[in-house]
Chains A and B, each alone.
Chain A
Amino acid sequence: MTVLEVVRPGALTTVQDLGRPGWAHLGVPHSGALDLPAHRLANRLAGNPAGAATLETTVDGVALRAVGGAVTAVVTGAPCPVRVAGRPAAWGAPVRVPAGAVLDVGRASAGLRSYVAVRGGVDVPAVLGSRSCDLLSGLGPGPVAAGAVLPVGAAGAGAGAGADVVPVGGPPAELLLPLLPGPRADWFAADAPRLLGRAVYRVSPASNRIGLRVEGPGVERVRTDELPSEGMVLGAVQVPPDGLPVVFLADHPVTGGYPVIGVVPPAALAAAAQAVPGTPVRFLPAR
């Protein structure tokens, strides 16, 4: 059996797929890859279905040794140097990693999270239909550790999809987040969404897979009583008592007790997943 042996786990590397939809009523977060387009692209180029598990790295990549056979790997997401057995290899294209050789996914030159797909997928056991590592609830495999062994699944019949050029996206200099109306807009002053749209925030280093936190002016609430816990969606912008908005990402809790002023559409969250701390953030109120 072919496996990947973790030589260098990096700052935080987790197994991710499309997540665990359908279990929120039992307290199970959705989870799944934060930059879904990058996850899907890596799988497509590796010849995997979109639901195959990839590795999501954070800032400084990961190094993996192919053991028991060669693997075909693809790195997408945050652009970074890729090396196989010490030699430069392609980013955004299938690379062959011979048995015994190390695939080194380096530090991101822009953005935060790179995705590593291997043909056949990372075949750790699924929990409730998903292999995603959920850092809030602890479901799925934990973050990968040095020396860990990750099974590689059997490749399907499909060949890897070709691509002449994979655009190196790279995160924008400014993170623009459309803001659709939220259920508790009436907990804020009438002009709060507009003021929120005018203010410039910066991505806080306290951001993680649960939420994108920002630094900047506080949003003023007109109601200060306690909101009974209610269901939360991906992209919900919660405003805790300190007034600083938190944008919920994949591992967000299924219920929360702070009012939601607006919702960032999921399509805009891939960019949020790649925004390094300090990146300017603007919310764009939309209808």
Chain B
Amino acid sequence: MAEPVEELERRIERLRSAVRHAVTTGDRATARTLRAELRRAEDAWEEALDDLADQAPAAPLPPRQRAVPGLLPLREQVHTALSLLSVPAAPRLVVQVHHAFFGEDVPSAKLTSLRRDEERSFRSAPFARPYYLCAALTADRLAPARGLLAVSTWPLEHRIVGPLSPRVDFLTAAVRVAEHAERLSKVDGGVARLLWMFGANIPGAASGIGTAAPAAVIRAARAELDSHTGVDRSHRTAAAARARAHLDDVGQLFGTQLRAVRSRTGT
């Protein structure tokens, strides 16, 4: 049975003066027992304090400082960030975007196995989930592109990565991030850093050292996109047509692997 904290505090006070009295009168045996009792009382006080802390209503933390894993499952966090970007993205960018816009840390170490888990899930029960986190496919060999995550509900063309696609996807992501930032009432540190990361690497997007206005990023990214999209789209369409013609559902979502021919032509 736990004593109320106030009662404990009064008892600790009494014990302290008793210990002091015993020490000054030279009664060592009493002092030792009293000290042990004092320690027990202090421990009980610490415990009672912890209980109080648990019962108290949690003060809402400002969202930016809440660097804790979110309540959503990992795949939904990734899906949210990817949907915002609308292009295949590396885990690092997914983490950055999610942190900047939703204030939650995605545990990046778990992202490495995510695609494999999703593939296993899809193979055991195809299309059982509304979406899967899948691979982007390389345009030349329709193999899974290294280190990119995509969403299965996107058109196949969006998930193809040709030679120009890394740049096109980067610029498209920049436009999407900037559009999203424009809708925010206040652009804070995380979003500003993200904007600067995009703006610094697009000609004419940065308005100064460390700052990039959303409107400027959108304008500059669209200007550069104009010179790449035509060729890129033709690559993507051709590769997507090939993928549809030759690959099954699993292949279209998770890519094919190049295998050694020798194993099949052996005698």
A-B complex is real: no
Enumerate chain A interface residues (CB-CB to B < 8 A): none
